[in-house]
Amino acid sequence: MKKNVSAVLCIAASAALAAFSGPVVAAPCTVVAFNSCYIGVDGTDTQTLTGAAGPYDFVGLGVRSTDPQLPGFQPFPGNPSGTLNINAGGSMTLNYLPNTISGPPPRPNDNSVLVGVSSGSTGVLNVNGGSINAPMLIAGQSDDTRPSTGTVTISNGGKFTAILNSGPGGPLPGQPAVGIGRGLGSTGTVNVDGAGSELKASLGSMSIGRQGSGTLNITNGGSVIVGGTVFGSTPSVLGSSLIVVDGGGSKLDAGNNSILLGINQGSLDPNDPAHGTATLNVRGGGEVVGNVTLGQGGTLRGDGTITGNVLNLGGTIMPGNSPGTLHIDGNFKQNGGTIDIEIAGAALFDTIDVTMNVDLDNVLIRFIFTGGYAPTAGDSYDFLTFGGSIANVNPLYEILGLQPGFEYGVSNINGMLALNARTDGVAVPEPASLALLGLALIGMVATRRRRRG
């Protein structure tokens, strides 16, 4: 925290406020100290900002005034919670102090809006038509010893601009400008909803679910712009991340940079266990711009568009939205892993549509017949189309949802791979049908017993 504020803040909640170097104010901060703004100190507090505030060095939402790690200090017994609403006309700025961030020693939380500061705390930030300009945004503490919960919602044309340079020329190379669920045991959620609502980190990277649980929802025309890599649960088996881009105009834009899902960020080795699980779901007309790489912990699904190359090194691709078409405007290469193709009707099935080249090596393609549908001999399902060349077409195939005996073939003609039914299929009864059948059989047995009596 800013300038080791945990060590400065006092022992008990009643004495804590008096220990700050700044006065208690009504809005927008519960407490001002070290030119920083704290909301929700040793209790629950909500503040609303409709004018201009700042520049601050640090903003913390959900603050415990004492730290159990410090000798002689007694931890605050409750779970503090701080909420900040920045409505239309409201704006907040933070200073950018590269020397403070880089140290020595480095203090990557300084000059950030930290949503969920202390162990067990909760922070909520609602940028509801207002704006924030700050070096960093962190939802869910990045300090592994103080897990917290942070939720950020940017809506009604609100904007959050994170100006940190995460690259080699920045003050702390590799430090993400946006961190969501970074700390061990922390939970972070960022929602960007509605046309004109924007989260921008033009020079920075983004980390989602580093060692905690991170969720990024981009909906109804919201926009997230990242100038560096998007890391989805890349360095630790403890991380989990979910990225949802849903609705026409909704966009995650990483430019020509990488979006890494469930794969070690350093080696990109699918056999390296240093990764968690990550899912990217682009649907309903949403778009993701960037080069997507999946490891064994990665899943790509949906019926939206990936503008960039897709490389799958052992993960899972699930096109469609029960079912539908996943569009890849670029090259698609997969080595290992699975592709799930749902088939719910003669003209209702999943497809991957690739504008350029396809390379499939050692891939398991599972055709999943759903909803009680079964094919008729002669039916054909174009499950992969491509505008360029195709190489290494030696997948393994598996049929699910049909009873044994179904015969099929896979053709590669005129820029498409198609599953062709050679015989009629028989659907496997779904669990609900089996349960009803079981009840019917029980009823028949009971009736026969009554008749015998």
Checking if the pLDDT of 441 tops 50, the result is no
- Enter the DSSP assignment of 2: G
Q: What pTM, to 2 d.p., does this model score?
A: 0.89
Under the banding of pLDDT at 50, 70 and 90, the label for residue 40 is very high
Q: What is the three-class DSSP state of 176?
A: coil
What's the count of helices (H) and strands (E) in the chain, helices before strands? 4, 40
Most confident of 144-153, 246-255, 261-270, 315-324: 246-255
Mean per-residue pLDDT, 29-45: 88
Question: Residue 8's pLDDT band (boundaries 50, 70, 90)?
Answer: very low
Which tens digits make up the pLDDT trace of 10-28? 323 333 333 333 344 446 8
For the chain, state the CA radius of gyration.
26
d(CA 194, CA 220): 5
Runs of H (alpha helix) within 171-268: none
Instruction: Provide the percentage of residues in the chain whose pLDDT is more than 70.
Output: 84
What does the pLDDT average to over 128-139? 97
Residue 143 has pLDDT above 80, yes or no: no
Residue 280's pLDDT band (cuts 50, 70, 90): very high
Please list the residues that pair with 170 across neighbouring strands. none
Q: Scan for tokens 């991380």, then name that residue.
A: 239
pLDDT higher for 108 or 178? 178
Q: Taking all residues of the chain, what is their mean pLDDT, rounded to a whole number?
A: 87
- List C-alpha distances in Å: 196 to 87, 128, 447: 14, 11, 65
Give 101's pLDDT tier (boundaries 50, 70, 90): low
String of b and e for 199-219 (b: at least 16 CB within 10 Å)? bbbebbbbbbbbbbbbbbbbb
139 CB-contact burial (10 Å; exposed 0-12 / middle 13-18 / buried 19+): buried
CA 161, 163, 166, 171 dihedral sign is negative
How does pLDDT run across 357-409, given as a tens digit for each residue? 999 999 999 999 999 999 999 999 999 999 999 998 788 999 999 999 999 99
The share of the chain scoring above pLDDT 90, in percent, equals 70
Identify which has the larger pLDDT, 277 or 96: 277
3-state SS assignment for residue 436: helix
Determine the average pLDDT of the residues in 404-422: 96
Characterize the bridge pairing of strands 348-349 and 316-319: unpaired
E-assigned strands of 14-156? 31-33, 36-41, 44-49, 52-56, 59-63, 81-87, 91-94, 112-115, 122-128, 131-134, 136-139, 149-155
3-state SS of 380-414?
EEEEEEECCCEECCCCEEEEECECCCCCEEEEECC
Distance separating the N- and C-terminal Cα atoms of the chain: 79
Q: Where are the domains of the chain?
A: 2-452
Res. 285: pLDDT tops 90: yes
Higher pLDDT, 120 or 451: 120
pLDDT at residue 425 tops 70:
yes
Per-residue pLDDT for 39 more than 90?
A: yes
Give residue 309's pLDDT band: very low, low, confident or very high (50, 70, 90).
very high
Highest mean pLDDT pick, 32-46, 114-128, 169-183: 114-128
pLDDT at 71: 55
Per-residue confidence band for 7, with pLDDT thresholds at 50, 70 and 90: very low
pLDDT at 99: 60
Our CA angle for 391, 396, 398, nearest 5°, is 140
Across residues 254-269, what is the average pLDDT?
93
Q: Say how far apart CA 137 and CA 156 lie, in whole Å.
A: 19
* 450 has a pLDDT exceeding 80: no
